[in-house]
C-alpha cells in the first residue's frame, strides 16, 4: 500500500486502538483493493473496542450507527469508519439485521457479502487475515458469496445489486451458485428502497464496467423490475447505414464502455439517450424512430422519478436525451440558434454524449469538431453578450409587462446574436417594430388603454 495521507491516518487510528489494548484491523474494501494492487479510496477499521471506547480515544468522532457499533473518526481531514466486530442476527425485512451481536473477527468476516470483501489486514504486523478464501478468489478473478448464496441474498436484497456492481467493476466471473441465486431471487429487488437502488445503479454506471453491469442487470432479471424500458432496447434493429454496430442495446452498451470518468448525469444520459426508440420504431422508407428524443425525454423523466433522482439531475438528464439529435443540424443553424445551442447549461455533457454516440455508430465526428471549433473561435463575450435592453426599457417605452415581453426580448437578442443590431437605440427601435408585428400597436396606444 502506498503511503498516502489517508493511509497515514488509518495507521494512526489502528495504533491508538492497539496502544489501549484493543485489536484493530483494516477491513473490507480497502483490503480488497490492496490485494488487487489498487489504491484504496478509504479505509474502514474493524475492532473489538466498543463505540464508547472509540469515542473516548479520538478528539473528533461521530456515532453513525451506534446500534451497529460504528463510529466515524475524523483525522487530518479524512474520515475512518471504525466498527466493532459483529455478527448480524435475524433478518426479517430483507435489508437490515434485526440485531447485531458483538463478537470476534472471524464472525465479522462471515457476515460480509462476498469473499473479496471479507478479508482483514493487520497493518502493524503486515499480515493478511483471510478466513473466507478471498485472496484465492481475487487471484482467480471470481465473485463468490460468503456462505450459502441463497441465504445471503435473502437476508439482504441489496446484495443482488452489489454482486453485479463488483463483478462488473472488476470484470470478475460470478461463481455458479452465486449467479444462480441472484437469478432466482432477482424479483426481490423490489423490496429495496429506491434511493439505495439509485445509488447502486449510479455506481454501476460510473465506477467502471458499466456495459457489463447493465448487461448483467438485464440478463439476470433485475433490470425488468428497475427499468423495464432499458430491457426493451434489446433486439430493436436500426438502419445499417447509420448503425453498422447493431441493435439499440448494442449501440448503448458500446457508448457506456467508451465513457471516460463520467458524471452520473452523463452516464444516465448515455443509458437513456435512445430509450424512446423501442416505442417509436416503424418501418417506412427505412427503419425510422420519429420523434424519439421527445418521447425519450418523457420516459426519462418517469425513470428518474422512479429512481428518486433530484429534480436538478432529472432536468439535466432529460435535456441530454431531448437534445441529443440536434447536433445533426448544427451546421445549418442560424447564428442565433447555434449560439443558444452552444451556450446551454452543461454543454460539455451534451458534447461528450454526442461524441460517444458517433463513435459507437458511424464514427463521423464532423458535427462534434464543428462545435468545438466554433466555441474556440467565438469566445464567451460573443456567445453570451451583455443584453442591449431589458424589460424595464420596454416598460419605459410605455408597454405593459406580459407574455409578449419575452418574445420581443428574444427577437431583439436574436438580432444581436446575428450581428444585425449593435446599439441600444437599434434595440429599442427593433423592440417597437416587434410589438407592432404582434399587433400590440405602439406605446401611445397602450398608454391610452392603461
Q: Enumerate residues 213-232 that contact ligand ATP by CB under 6 A.
A: none
The distance of closest approach from Cβ of residue 236 to ligand ATP in the complex, given in angstroms and rounded to an integer, is 33
Q: Enumerate residues 93-152 that contact ligand ATP by CB under 6 A.
A: 112-113, 117-118
- 255 is in the binding site of which of Mg ion, ligand ATP, none (Cβ under 5 to 8 A by kind)? none
∠ CA 229-230-234, nearest 5°, is: 110
Question: Strand pairing of 173-174 and 142-143?
Answer: parallel
Q: Which is nearer to ligand ATP, 206 or 326 (CB)?
A: 206
Q: Enumerate residues 161-200 that contact ligand ATP by CB under 6 A.
A: 162
Q: What residue number has its CB nearest to Mg ion?
A: 29
From CA 70, how far away is CA 110, in angstroms rounded?
A: 18
Which residues lie near Mg ion (CB under 5 A)? 29
Q: Which is nearer to Mg ion, 132 or 388 (CB)?
A: 132
Residue 366: exposure state from Cβ atoms within 10 A (0-12, 13-18, ≥19): exposed
Per DSSP, what are the bridge partners of residue 434? Answer: none
Q: What residue number has its CB nearest to ligand ATP?
A: 29
User: Which of 9, 26, 28, 132 is in the footprint of ligand ATP by CB under 6 A?
Assistant: 28
The distance of closest approach from Cβ of residue 42 to Mg ion in the complex, given in angstroms and rounded to an integer, is 6
Question: Could you tell me how many residues of this chain bind ligand ATP (CB under 6 A)?
Answer: 11
- 123 is in the binding site of which of Mg ion, ligand ATP, none (Cβ under 5 to 8 A by kind)? none
The distance of closest approach from Cβ of residue 106 to Mg ion in the complex, given in angstroms and rounded to an integer, is 21
- 113 is in the binding site of which of Mg ion, ligand ATP, none (Cβ under 5 to 8 A by kind)? ligand ATP
Q: Which stretch binds ligand ATP (CB under 6 A): 134-142, 154-162, 252-260, 413-421?
A: 154-162
User: Which of 12, 18, 23, 29 is in the footprint of ligand ATP by CB under 6 A?
Assistant: 29
78 binds ligand ATP, rule: CB under 6 A? no
The distance of closest approach from Cβ of residue 185 to Mg ion in the complex, given in angstroms and rounded to an integer, is 24
159 binds ligand ATP, rule: CB under 6 A? yes
The distance of closest approach from Cβ of residue 111 to ligand ATP in the complex, given in angstroms and rounded to an integer, is 6
The distance of closest approach from Cβ of residue 6 to Mg ion in the complex, given in angstroms and rounded to an integer, is 12
Task: Give me the residues that bind ligand ATP (CB under 6 A), please.
Answer: 28-29, 44, 112-113, 117-118, 156, 158-159, 162
Amino acid at each position: 500500500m502506498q503511503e498516502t495521507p489517508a493511509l497515514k491516518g488509518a495507521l494512526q487510528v489502528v495504533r491508538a486502538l492497539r496502544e489501549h489494548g484493543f485489536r484493530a484491523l483494516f477491513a473490507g474494501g480497502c483490503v480488497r483493493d490492496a490485494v488487487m494492487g489498487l489504491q484504496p479510496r478509504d479505509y474502514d477499521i474493524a475492532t473489538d473496542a466498543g463505540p464508547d471506547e472509540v469515542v473516548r480515544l479520538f478528539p473528533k468522532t461521530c456515532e453513525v450507527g451506534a446500534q451497529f457499533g460504528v463510529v466515524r473518526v475524523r483525522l487530518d481531514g479524512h474520515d475512518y469508519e471504525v466498527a466493532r466486530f459483529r455478527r448480524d442476527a435475524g433478518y426479517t425485512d430483507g435489508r437490515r439485521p434485526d440485531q447485531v451481536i458483538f463478537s470476534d473477527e472471524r464472525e465479522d468476516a462471515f457476515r460480509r457479502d462476498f469473499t473479496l470483501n471479507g478479508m482483514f489486514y493487520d497493518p502493524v504486523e503486515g499480515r493478511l487475515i483471510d478466513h473466507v478464501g478471498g485472496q484465492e478468489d481475487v487471484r482467480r478473478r471470481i465473485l463468490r458469496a460468503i456462505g450459502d448464496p441463497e441465504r445471503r441474498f435473502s437476508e439482504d436484497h441489496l446484495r443482488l445489486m452489489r454482486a453485479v456492481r463488483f463483478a462488473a467493476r472488476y470484470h470478475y466471473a460470478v461463481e455458479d451458485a452465486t449467479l444462480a441465486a441472484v437469478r432466482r431471487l432477482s424479483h426481490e429487488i423490489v423490496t429495496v428502497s429506491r434511493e439505495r437502488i439509485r445509488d447502486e445503479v449510479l455506481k454501476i454506471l460510473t465506477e467502471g464496467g458499466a456495459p457489463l453491469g447493465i448487461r448483467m442487470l438485464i440478463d439476470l432479471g433485475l433490470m425488468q423490475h428497475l427499468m423495464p424500458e432499458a430491457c426493451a432496447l434489446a433486439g430493436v434493429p436500426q438502419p445499417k447505414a447509420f448503425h453498422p454496430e447493431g441493435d439499440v442495446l448494442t449501440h448503448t452498451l458500446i457508448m457506456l464502455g467508451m465513457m471516460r470518468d463520467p458524471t452520473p448525469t452523463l452516464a444516465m444520459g448515455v443509458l437513456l439517450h435512445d430509450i424512446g426508440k423501442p416505442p417509436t420504431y416503424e418501418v417506412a422508407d427505412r427503419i425510422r424512430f420519429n420523434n424519439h428524443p421527445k418521447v425519450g425525454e418523457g420516459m426519462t423523466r418517469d425513470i428518474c422519478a422512479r429512481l428518486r433522482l433530484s429534480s436538478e439531475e432529472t432536468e439535466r438528464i432529460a435535456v441530454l436525451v431531448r437534445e441529443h439529435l440536434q447536433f445533426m443540424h448544427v451546421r445549418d443553424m442560424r447564428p442565433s440558434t447555434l449560439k443558444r445551442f452552444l451556450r446551454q447549461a452543461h454543454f460539455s455533457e451534451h458534447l461528450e454524449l454526442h461524441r460517444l454516440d458517433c463513435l459507437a455508430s458511424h464514427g463521423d465526428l464532423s458535427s462534434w469538431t464543428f462545435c468545438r471549433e466554433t466555441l474556440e473561435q467565438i469566445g464567451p463575450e460573443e456567445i453570451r453578450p451583455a443584453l442591449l435592453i431589458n424589460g424595464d426599457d420596454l416598460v419605459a417605452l410605455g408597454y405593459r409587462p406580459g407574455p409578449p415581453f419575452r418574445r420581443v426580448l428574444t427577437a431583439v437578442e436574436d438580432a444581436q446574436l446575428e450581428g444585425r443590431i449593435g446599439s441600444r437605440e437599434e434595440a429599442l427601435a427593433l423592440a417597437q417594430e416587434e410589438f407592432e408585428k404582434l399587433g400590440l400597436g405602439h406605446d401611445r396606444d397602450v398608454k391610452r388603454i392603461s
